[in-house]
Amino acid sequence: MPSSHFRLCHVSVDNSLSSHNAHIERERAIAIYELLEKNTFVPVGHGGGPYRLKLSLAEGRLAFHIATEAGAAIVCHYLSLAPFRRLLKDYMLTCESFYDALPNANSARFETIDMGRRALHNDAAELLLKLLAPKVAVDNNTARRLFTLLYVLLMRRPTALFAFQEA
């Protein structure tokens, strides 16, 4: 089957959660745009898409609701957030520093923070790729965008973030 059948054609993030933080909503919009431009998404055991994906949080886990392009449900996979605990905490702190530095940091400080942010993002994407592998094959760039959306979900629901960090 052509690779164009193993891709996402629609991506959404749980709309019951919203953020008034412009940085978070910008990250969501960019990640979804980039995912739809180019991605590899192959649910194990399924003949081909394209696919619709809805991401949500459910009982401290990341839920991947996968459907056909027409909207027929295929499967829902749940991933524990526990393996991401340290990376998410570090990534969130680094992003706070990054956004705080935007208005007035010198270029050397900004570049240092950005390099740290990117390194953490890469580590988290590699972990996500590994944990998804038994259920859904994705490429590295798809994993990076999916991690961004996980970050957005957690930042949109501060109570889930608090519960996740305390667990």
More confident residue, 1 or 114: 114
> Is beta strand 136-138 parallel, antiparallel or unpaired with respect to 8-13?
unpaired
The two structure tokens encoding residue 167? 């667990």
pLDDT averaged over the chain? 84
Residue 155 confidence (pLDDT) above 90: no
Q: What is the CA radius of gyration of the chain?
A: 16
Residue 130 confidence (pLDDT) above 70: yes
Spans of all domains in the chain: 3-166
Average pLDDT over residues 43-72: 91
Residue with tokens 């530095």: 101
Q: What is the pLDDT of residue 162?
A: 45
More confident residue, 24 or 79: 79
Instruction: Decide: residue 166, CB within 10 A, 0-12 exposed, 13-18 middle, 19+ buried.
Output: exposed
Collapsed DSSP state (helix, strand, coil) of residue 131: helix
Residue 141 confidence (pLDDT) above 60: yes
More confident residue, 7 or 109: 7
Q: What is the pLDDT of residue 166?
A: 45
Q: What percentage of the chain exceeds 90 in pLDDT?
A: 52
Q: How confident is the model at residue 79 (pLDDT cuts 50, 70, 90)?
A: very high
Q: Which of 119, 158, 145 is nearest to 19 (CA)?
A: 158
Cβ atoms of 154 and 160 within 8 Å: the answer is yes
What's the pLDDT tens digit per position in 11-40?
999 876 566 677 788 888 899 999 999 999
Q: What is the pLDDT of residue 3?
A: 56
Q: What is the pLDDT of residue 1?
A: 42
Q: What is the pLDDT of residue 93?
A: 86
Residue 42, Cβ neighbours under 10 Å: how many? 19
